[in-house]
Amino acid sequence: MLSIKQQDDILLVNVIGQFSLDDYKQFEDHVRYLVKQGANVSLLFDFRDMLGYSIDVAWEEIRFAREQIGHFQRVAIVSEGQWVSWLAWMQSLFMPHDFQMFEVYDDAILWLEGQES
């Protein structure tokens, strides 16, 4: 399940349970809408409640991020799991935006707002 909320210039994406390709497509649609409106947003992915995702989601994430180059200011990922952190770091190598991993949600928000924690 996916929850998407917007807080000023930050798009908050919370993944609960299994992260499916349909969930990711929902996220893509939301980002495309914001880009069409001229928004240049920062992203916060909260993976603390995610149980897992399939390779098709990982591949789509790389493809979509490359398509949207220049539309993200910063990307923060909140996760307590070591494997999620490792996969996110690997994918960040293909994406030129400012990227940071966090274990504490509030620290990620502060960083996205430009207030280093």
User: Which structure tokens are listed for 58?
Assistant: 């990982």
Q: Are 90 and 60 in contact (CB under 8 A)?
A: no
Output the pLDDT for position 5.
95
Per-residue pLDDT band for 17 (boundaries 50, 70, 90) equals very high
Q: Are 30 and 22 in contact (CB under 8 A)?
A: no
Condensed to tens digits (0 to 9), the pLDDT of residues 25-64 reads: 999 999 889 888 887 788 899 999 988 888 888 788 878 8
Of 46, 48, 57, residue with least CA distance to 19: 57
Condensed to tens digits (0 to 9), the pLDDT of residues 65-82 reads: 777 767 778 888 898 876
Q: Are 33 and 66 in contact (CB under 8 A)?
A: no
- What domains lie within the chain, and their CATH numbers? 2-112 (3.40.50.10600)
